[in-house]
Structure 1
Amino acid sequence: MSYKVEILTPSPIYDPYIEYYKNVITDAEGTFKCVPNTSEELYFNFKKCKLYSNNHYVLDDPKVYFAGLHPYEQEAFARLGNDVSGGFVIVFRPNGIQNLFGLSNSELFGYAIDGKTIFRSFAEEIWLSLKESDDIHLKKAKVESFLLSYVKCGRSPNTLLNYILELIKKENGILSTAEISRQFNISTRSLERKFRNYIGLSPKEFLQITRLNHALELIQNQQNFSLTRISYLSGYYDQSHFIKDIEKICGFPPGALKRDVQPQEHCDNRNFLKLS
């Protein structure tokens, strides 16, 4: 199983909304459990797939779709076909989708939604245009041309929130809400309200998801590290709490992941658990 990922940064006018673009080609197939993360994304998908989350959504072979943030305990799955293909993905800055397209957090939170609901017939047109090109730079140019009208009407991002999120990313989520409040001179109540309004998650849950994804990357990439060391490097001082959180979000204990009893896949900023 392999992934080829190319990364491009956005042009300056799109930088307030978009963190980067990625072009993915993979031969991955089967059913995967998707680990929640802190990135909202817009996919132009060229690979056969089915996306589903019980009582939330089912998308069969979507060509264009938005992936919103998922709550910590919500299970989401992807069933990939056996074709060698992939897609072109826009990885947004936190709240970038809302600022650019005017979508509310309630519309995306916990869901993946078909791009046709937002772009109508233009979704098919841009999808076909991107599918015809193998060059990531040309794909970027086509996407940015398509997004220009949205940028002209877009809202300015919340600067304070961006500084807070940059710190969380830099520290791999190994912070407390009290530390953030102190550093940015903001009350814990205001911090909670800002995250709920702009992100959809509480700051505590956002930190927890960030920490757990960091832990999963350590489990996969640092095979010589003990679970005790990984739990400490992930901000846990109680190993039993660390094990409980990994089991809760993955369905498997970290020991099973470390021994490859349950294969773990990592593609750029996302972690997946192969189920079948």
Structure 2
Amino acid sequence: MIVPRQDYPKNEMAAVVPVMEKSLSESLERIETSHNSRADAVMESLNVALVRTVGDPGAVMLETWESWLLAMQVHSAVFAAAASDLETVTCKIRQEERHLATTGPQPYLNAETWLDAFYLAMICREAARLDMLARIPVSLLRDFGGALDEYTYAWVETLQSFWLRRDDLRTHLIRAVDLSAPEQARVVDAEEMSKLRYPPITMLYRYLRNDLAGFKEALADAVLWHKEYWTADEDRASNILGVVALGPLAIACLAKANGVPVEIESGYLPEALLDFAWRGEFDA
């Protein structure tokens, strides 16, 4: 099955990459001590990865992979700094050891950002960072603030239980499924809940049940709904967040790494990320 990605203005987006990279580099220079720079680096690092993927939909270029790796490093680092009891934590960012002062709760470190961090670590197959993220208390994520639908916390708990192989996985997964029903939406609207938030949950459910046909169908639905959502109007169609189906890609990476065939081709699921084509090329 092939699901083409919508067209983006590749030349225009390629032209802004140097500007975005410069802003990101400036944020990284101050990331050890500045809360504002950390918030900026989180947003900017993911945006750079997405913009690079516009012109490189398969993520086959070295620079594109490096941008995804950097986004993963930044997202993981800020959570490592937030959850530690030490005065500083040492994190590798752009192949440099950075010593980040610990922070405690911060507005930009909510459960939504945690999900992005976890997805990025799954895409990059970073077990140590997944271990760290899976041990961050959900109560701490609630303290980080922000109005979020309750499904978000149930989904976080599901992923944490899955990764740590806890006995309460089934309970959290069922709760996540129930709370991600469109009628449960309070902060996001019903369309976003059904087309963007729910699909990764049902993908994991099918994967855990070893339902290969169901997983294939769930992945296809996830990509099609992602496209439907991000092409519904002109504003969405130009939004950089639609370039990659981040949650479905992460679950697909998990499945493929464990022998489940992924039989869908789409720019929303960059092939080199899905296949982990740069395995062993970098010390993350």
TM-score (norm: length of structure 1): 0.31
Larger radius of gyration: 1
Structure number with the higher strand fraction is 1
TM-score (norm: length of structure 2): 0.31
